[in-house]
Amino acid sequence: MSRTRSRYAPDRGLTTRMVTTMFLIGLLYVVLVGVLLAVLRGAWPIILIFTGGLFIAQFWFSDRIAAFSMGAREVTPEQAPELHGTVDRICALADMPKPRVAIAQSDVPNAFATGRSEKTALVCATTGLLRRLEPEELEGVLAHEMSHVAHRDVAVMTIASFLGVLAGIITRVALWGGLSRSSRANDPVGIAVMLIPLVSAVVYALSFLLTRLLSRYRELSADRTAALLTGRPSALASALTKVCGQMARIPTEDLRKAEPYNAFYFVPAFSSKESLSRLLSSHPTLEQRLDQLARISADLARP
């Protein structure tokens, strides 16, 4: 059994949002599978095996796939003594098991955490981040990432993202298969099959919005709990400012490669001030994060 508590400050708002998101995602999943079963009645064993198999694969392997895709390479204390030392200090502060520690060979200054639980957790920093940050700034960033592990929102995001992946697959399969079916207006099977891409697209859009709303809140929560744990919100604010400023100097091609994994990163590869883009963003704005840290710093300074 994994530990259920650490010294990271609990966040009831995050817990409520995670439970609500998982419930709504589960409801959408049931609706999607129900539509498939109603339309393709004779293929229900295949549908159940297909969707169930994908769900199991997503739950058990998605964190490893994500870590591999982002270039994470696990390192020993001998290979990265400073990084391991920082993680050890945070674990002692938080009273939580030590996650696996990794480094990604990338000039994009960032960090991320993956894992279904504390036992399978991995915390990774890029070489670009390690080269640019001071020790206290790095501690703030890693405390932020380990907050995701302690609060288990990494696992929730991994599971929640599954439905969008499944809906996208079903949309492509249905569009491809629908072309080979009869186009007669009175063919009920053909009409039903043509509805599958529409239903799948709606499910994908809703799941995308739900995960984005949760993602923005969990980033603010991780900033807050990391600042309270370390007692140095100014160090985390400095790291945020420095990383966001350095992003503008990274080649666009490198940022494009990192963009698909924005929901896992400490800072997104791209950010926008436009209202629509902010609605779809995986992270709150830099101003929101710095304002929150400034309030925490003021609260901690009070006698």
Q: Which residues are catalytic?
A: 145
Three-state SS sequence of 102-144: EEECCCCCCEEEECCCCCCCEEEEEHHHHHHCCHHHHHHHHHH
Query: Which phi and psi (to 5°) does residue 112 adopt?
Result: -155, 165
**The 3-state secondary structure of the chain, one letter per residue:** CCCCCCCCCCCHHHHHHHHHHHHHHHHHHHHHHHHHHHHCHHHHHHHHHHHHHHHHHHHHHHHHHHHHHCCEEECCCCCCHHHHHHHHHHHHHHCCCCCEEEEECCCCCCEEEECCCCCCCEEEEEHHHHHHCCHHHHHHHHHHHHHHHHHCHHHHHHHHHHHHHHHHHHHHHHHHHHCCCCCCCCCHHHHHHHHHHHHHHHHHHHHHHHHHHHHHHHHHHHHHHHHHHHCCHHHHHHHHHHHHHHHCCCCHHHHHHHHHHHHHECCCCCCCCCHHHHHHCCCCCHHHHHHHHHHHHHHHHCC
Shortest CA distance to 142 belongs to which of 92, 199, 216, 194?
A: 92
